[in-house]
């Protein structure tokens, strides 16, 4: 589904990703771990098409298309979803309106009829349950005045509504208390299907107690320095990152 | 990024066409003779001519205000024409007599004057250059006792009302542009709602400047008698021309005891091109006087004009009277706006609310200027002011000039202000959810303006939506 080959990307003059290769198949969950500043979030943003990063070489193939050729909104319409590490506030625009606008853009891109607000209510009712959110949240402005946990749950709600093929969760576990973490993780698990895939970007192993990955990759200095199965995450938890980092020149 | 955003907000002005009609236009220049000529053409009574002349003499002693935060080349008042009327507009018996060319103009602007297609629930007075070309639904209004007609007709048919209230809120000596208007005003709308009557229709005036080098100086007078209520809408467009055109209007509102007047404006005069060539100079005085328990509410969406100088205000004369000002002002290209309000608290327990949203894009400069004044007898007066600015791109500016004067210790005033910038991050967030940049900006701007848009009557909310190129569905109300 996703094939990243020798990807290099920079922010301004600074090269952050220095040759990433990664293949993700349908039905798989991949965890990208690594110390702060290793390029994890950059990778997530580059996949989603953030204009602040320039891809200097390498390719990303998604569903047989050249992903780098697509605008960010076209990627979203094609089923790529990024759950933001720091979800953005849009004052004055209700969550319900924003979600329906996004939902309808994606339907339009697939030549499906748009839903009116009443029809959309039915879709919402079911999706709210996935993240145990109250319907009153829908009338609040997008992320404005939300607590950290509410913002993250709201990201997963959006994911539930938009039903992406490829979901990239950027540090969705950071800043969550244990209950919120459980709700978010259960939400992600409920949304898992054989035809979609998930990339979890995380600093800590604890999220992986709830969402069990098929593959774990360690990113450091803009490169994947080690890949393995779910047991790698436990090893990292026990030993930290340092034992892996030593061979990498400073 | 700012380049993309700017192209998106730079939409072609779609009302820039010129209507080809024969006009009766007087030569440029402004002297006492001009004032007499205008008065004569309008077959006015002596008292009105005298009033105009007093205004003209006063105007000659006044100087143009220099305090607004705008800059422009000096205006040559002798180069302007002060009266222009389509020849076909004689006193009309019915709208069937209106020049088809004029009807077509209004059709093109989305305002239908013909009876079969008119907006349901809205009566329209259409002002073309200096004169009213027709007022719809008069009979229906007459049944309720509501008078809604052109100013000229009001002078002929209801002189006692006009004489009583003209200049009672904005005296001819008020300011430079009000004095100019008082001397040369050509037409405008007049509304009188009798005691205890709730006006059954929305009233609407549609202003159109067509002739070249012609100033438009209309005068609107709205009187809501005791316990009456009315909602009034105003829309404005003008053709694209390379010269600047002058628009100096005066609106006076009188809300007698327990009356309610809601006045909404969508101002979309031609703004000039991206280099600042052409566009309307919009120098307008709007003020209402609210008596005991009365309420006056101004809502404005200002998107056009090269320069806007406008402060719709309320004199809270009576005890418990209420004044409101809701404003969205957008500047783009080289537009400049200096706009805001004055709330003058005179009576006890008077309340006022000011919500101002300024959006600056391109090289536009947007200033909010507001005065809240509490006089010694206004015990228990309250004001809430919220003044927000949004910047789009790096070359525009937002400025805030609040003036607060309080002479009564029991008054409560609150002032909140914020400035934000549409960021790359907000746009990217929307794009990552499948919305394109244009849709994203619309959404963000609509959210920013929400508190003002929800004050607009339905028809105007739709027009405002088209104007800002944004979808309001769901984000309003």
A64 by Cβ neighbours in 10 Å (0-12 / 13-18 / 19+) ranks as exposed
Share of chain B above pLDDT 70, in %: 77
B119 confidence band (pLDDT: 50, 70, 90): very low
Residues 6+ apart with CB under 8 A from B3: none
For position B118, what pLDDT does the model report? 46
The verdict on a CB contact (< 8 Å) between A82 and B432 is yes
Shortest distance, CA B421 to any CA of chain A (angstroms): 12
- SS percent in chain A: helix, strand, coil, step 5: 40, 30, 30
Cβ of B426 within 8 Å of Cβ of A90? The answer is yes
Q: How far is A183 from chain B (nearest CA, A)?
A: 22
Partner-chain contact B474 A117, CB within 8 Å: yes
DSSP state of A209: G
Using the beta-carbon criterion (under 8 Å), do A88 and B435 form an inter-chain contact? no
CB B25 within 8 A of CB B214: yes
Name beta bridge partners: B327: B300, B356
Q: Of B423, B352, B362, B410, whose CA–CA distance to B386 is shortest?
A: B352
CA angle B213, B95, B131 (to 5 degrees): 25
Tell me how far apart the terminal alpha carbons of chain B are, to the nearest angstrom.
31
Q: Looking at chain B from residue 421 to 440, which residues have their Cβ under 8 Å from any Cβ of chain A?
A: 424-426, 428-437, 439
Lowest-confidence pick of B61-75, B217-231, B263-277:
B263-277
Give tens-digit pLDDT for B212-266.
Answer: 656 778 899 999 999 999 999 887 665 665 677 788 999 999 999 999 999 998 8
Is the pLDDT confidence value at B279 over 90?
no
Residue the block writes with tokens 């969508």: B266
Residue that the structure tokens 């040369």 belong to: B184
Residue of B426, B433, B444, B455 to mutate when probing chain A, most A C-beta within 10 A? B433
Residue of higher predicted confidence among B378 and A244: B378
B474 touches chain A (CB under 8 A): yes
- Provide the 10 A C-beta neighbour count for residue A240: 11
Residues 157-196 of A with CB under 8 A from B: 158, 162
Confidence of residue A64 (pLDDT cuts 50, 70, 90): very high
Q: Is the C-alpha dihedral spanning B188, B461, A144, A172 positive or negative?
A: negative
Chain B closest-CA separation from residue A241 CA (Å): 31
pLDDT in tens, B308-334: 999 999 999 999 999 999 999 888 888
Å from A57 to nearest chain B CA?
A: 22
Residue B109: what pLDDT?
58
Q: What is the pLDDT of residue B111?
A: 57
**pLDDT confidence bin for B476, thresholds 50/70/90:** very low
Q: Where are the beta strands (DSSP E) in B346-396?
A: 351-360, 365-374, 382-391
Beta carbons of A49 and B444 less than 8 Å apart? no
Per-residue confidence at B446, pLDDT binned at 50, 70, 90?
A: confident
Q: Given an 8 Å threshold on Cβ–Cβ distance, is A71 in contact with B450?
A: no
Name every chain B residue with its beta carbon within 8 A of the beta carbon of A102: 433-435
Smallest CA-to-CA distance from B8 within B329, B443, B418 is with B443
Q: According to the model, what pLDDT value does residue B218 have? A: 87
Q: How confident is the model at residue A215 (pLDDT cuts 50, 70, 90)?
A: very high
- What is the reported pLDDT for B215? 74
Which pLDDT value is given to residue B244? 73
- Nearest chain B alpha carbon to A48: B432
- Give me the pLDDT at residue B237, please: 61
Average pLDDT for A167-189? 90
Distance (Å, rounded) from C-alpha A135 to C-alpha A124? 8
Tell which wins on pLDDT, B420 or B172.
Answer: B172
Q: Check whether B3 has a pLDDT greater than 50.
A: no
Between A and B, how many CB-CB pairs are < 8 A?
87
Give the DSSP letter of residue A53.
Answer: -
Smallest CA–CA separation between B149 and chain A, in Å? 39
Which of B447, B138, B415, B162 has its CA nearest to residue A95? B447
Exposed (0-12), middle (13-18) or buried (19+): which is B73, by Cβ within 10 Å?
exposed
User: What residues of chain B lie within 8 A of the CB of A169, using their CB?
Assistant: none
How large is the average pLDDT for residues B463-476?
44
**Which residue from A51, A82, A91 is facing B1, i.e. has the nearest CB?**
A51
Interchain contact, A51 vs B473, CB within 8 Å: no
pLDDT of residue B5: 43
ipTM: 0.95
pLDDT score recorded for residue B468: 63
Mean pLDDT for the stretch of residues B91-103:
59
Report the pLDDT averaged over residues A96-125.
93
- Would the CB atoms of A90 and B429 count as touching at under 8 Å? yes
B429 → closest Cβ in A51, A88, A91: A88
Q: What pLDDT does B101 receive?
A: 66
CA distances from B333 to B236, B304, B399, B439, B446 (A): 19, 11, 17, 20, 20
Averaged over B278-285, what is the pLDDT?
88
Residue-level pLDDT at B213: 59
Residue A73 at interface with chain B, using a CB cutoff of 8 Å = yes
Q: Does B399 touch chain A (CB under 8 A)?
A: no
Examine the pLDDT at A135 and tell me if it is beyond 50: yes
> Are A137 and A168 a contacting pair, CB within 8 Å?
no
Angle between helices B437-453 and B458-467 (to 10 degrees): 150
How close A36 gets to chain B, by Cα (Å)?
A: 21
Please report residues of B whose CB lies closer than 8 A to that of A48.
Answer: 432
Question: Rounded to the nearest 5 degrees, what angle is found at the Cα of B445, between the Cα atoms of B280 and B476?
Answer: 105
**What is the CB neighbour count within 10 angstroms for residue B33?**
10
pLDDT at B19 over 80: no
Beta carbons of A106 and B434 less than 8 Å apart: yes
What percent of chain A is predicted at pLDDT more than 70? 98
- Mean pLDDT of the region A216-235: 93
- Disruptive mutation site among A47, A90, A143, A146 for chain B (greatest number of B CBs within 10 Å): A90
> What are the φ/ψ torsions at residue A137 (nearest 5 degrees)?
-60, -25
Residue B186: band (very low, low, confident or very high) from pLDDT cuts 50, 70, 90 = confident
Residues 6+ apart with CB under 8 A from B271: B13, B279, B280, B303, B304, B305, B306, B332, B333, B335
* CA separation for the pair A178, A172 (Å, rounded): 13
B474 vs A contacts (CB less than 8 Å): 94, 96-97, 100, 117
Q: How distant is the Cα of A53 from the closest Cα of chain B, in angstroms?
A: 12
Q: How confident is the model at residue B351 (pLDDT cuts 50, 70, 90)?
A: very high
The distance of B296 to chain A (nearest Cα, Å) reads 25
Least confident piece of the model among A155-159, B113-117, B251-255, B307-311: B113-117
User: Is residue A60 classed as helix, strand or coil in its secondary structure?
Assistant: strand
In the 8-state DSSP scheme, what is residue A136?
G
The torsion angles phi and psi of A82, rounded to 5 degrees, stand at -115, 120
């Amino acid at each position: 589904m996703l094939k990243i080959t020798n990807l290099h990307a920079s922010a301004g003059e600074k090269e952050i990703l220095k040759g990433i290769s990664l293949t993700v198949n349908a039905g798989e969950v991949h965890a990208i771990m690594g110390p702060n500043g290793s390029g994890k979030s950059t990778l997530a943003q580059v996949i989603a098409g953030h204009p602040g990063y320039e891809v200097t070489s390498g390719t990303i193939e998604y569903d047989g298309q050249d992903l780098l050729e697509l605008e960010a909104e076209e990627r979203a319409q094609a089923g790529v979803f990024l759950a933001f590490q720091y979800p953005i506030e849009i004052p004055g625009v209700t969550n319900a309106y924003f979600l329906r606008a996004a939902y309808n853009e994606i339907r339009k891109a697939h030549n499906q009829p748009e839903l009116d607000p009443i029809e959309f209510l039915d879709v919402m009712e079911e999706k709210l349950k996935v993240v145990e959110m109250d319907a009153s949240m829908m009338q609040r402005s997008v992320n404005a005045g939300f607590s950290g946990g509410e913002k993250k749950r709201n990201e997963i709600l959006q994911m539930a509504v938009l039903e992406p093929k490829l979901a990239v969760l950027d540090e969705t576990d950071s800043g969550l208390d244990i209950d919120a973490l459980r709700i978010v993780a259960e939400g992600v698990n409920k949304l898992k299907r054989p035809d979609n895939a998930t990339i979890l970007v995380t600093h800590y192993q604890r999220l992986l107690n709830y969402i069990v990955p098929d593959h774990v990759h360690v990113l450091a200095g803009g490169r994947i320095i080690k890949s393995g199965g779910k047991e790698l995450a436990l090893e990292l938890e026990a030993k930290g990152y340092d034992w892996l980092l030593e061979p990498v020149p400073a | 990024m700012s380049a993309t955003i700017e192209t998106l907000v730079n939409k072609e002005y779609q009302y820039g066409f010129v209507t080809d009609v024969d006009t009766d236009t007087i030569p440029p220049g402004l002297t006492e003779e001009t004032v007499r000529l205008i008065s004569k053409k309008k077959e006015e009574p002596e008292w009105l001519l005298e009033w105009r002349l007093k205004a003209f003499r006063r105007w000659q002693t006044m100087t143009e205000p220099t305090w607004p935060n705008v800059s422009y080349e000096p205006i040559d008042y002798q180069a302007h024409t002060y009266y222009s009327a389509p020849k076909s507009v004689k006193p009309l018996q019915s709208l069937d007599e209106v020049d088809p060319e004029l009807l077509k103009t209004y059709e093109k602007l989305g305002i239908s004057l013909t009876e079969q297609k008119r907006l349901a629930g809205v009566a329209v007075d259409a002002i073309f250059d200096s004169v009213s070309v027709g007022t719809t639904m008069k009979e229906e209004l007459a049944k309720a006792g509501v008078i809604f007609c052109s100013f000229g007709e009001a002078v002929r048919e209801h002189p006692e009302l006009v004489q009583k209230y003209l200049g009672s809120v904005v005296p001819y000596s008020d300011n430079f542009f009000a004095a100019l208007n008082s001397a040369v005003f050509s037409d405008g709308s007049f509304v009188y709602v009798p005691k205890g009557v709730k006006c059954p229709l929305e009233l609407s005036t549609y202003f159109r400047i067509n002739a070249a080098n012609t100033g438009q100086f209309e005068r609107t007078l709205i009187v809501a008698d005791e316990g009456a209520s009315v909602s009034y809408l105003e829309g404005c467009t003008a053709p694209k021309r390379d010269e600047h055109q002058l628009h100096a209007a005066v609106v006076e509102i009188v809300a007698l005891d327990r009356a309610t007047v809601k006045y909404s404006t969508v101002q979309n005069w031609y703004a000039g091109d991206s280099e600042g060539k052409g566009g309307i100079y919009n120098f307008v005085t709007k003020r209402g006087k609210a008596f005991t328990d009365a309420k006056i509410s101004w809502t404005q969406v200002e998107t056009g004009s090269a320069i806007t100088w406008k402060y719709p205000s309320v004199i809270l004369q009576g005890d418990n009277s209420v004044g409101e000002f809701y404003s969205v002002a957008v500047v783009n290209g080289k537009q400049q706006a200096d706009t805001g309000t004055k709330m003058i608290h005179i009576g006890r327990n008077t309340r006022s609310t000011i919500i101002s949203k300024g959006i600056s894009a391109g090289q536009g400069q947007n200033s909010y200027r507001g005065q809240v004044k509490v006089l010694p007898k206004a015990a228990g007066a309250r004001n809430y002011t919220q003044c927000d600015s949004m910047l789009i791109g790096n070359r525009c500016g937002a400025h805030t000039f609040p003036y607060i004067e309080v002479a009564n210790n029991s008054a409560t005033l609150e002032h909140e202000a914020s400035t934000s910038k549409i960021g790359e991050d907000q746009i990217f967030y929307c794009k990552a959810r499948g919305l394109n940049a244009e849709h994203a900006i619309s959404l963000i701007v609509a959210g920013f303006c929400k508190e003002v848009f929800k004050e607009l009557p339905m028809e105007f909310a739709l027009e405002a939506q088209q104007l800002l190129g944004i979808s309001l569905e769901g984000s309003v109300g």
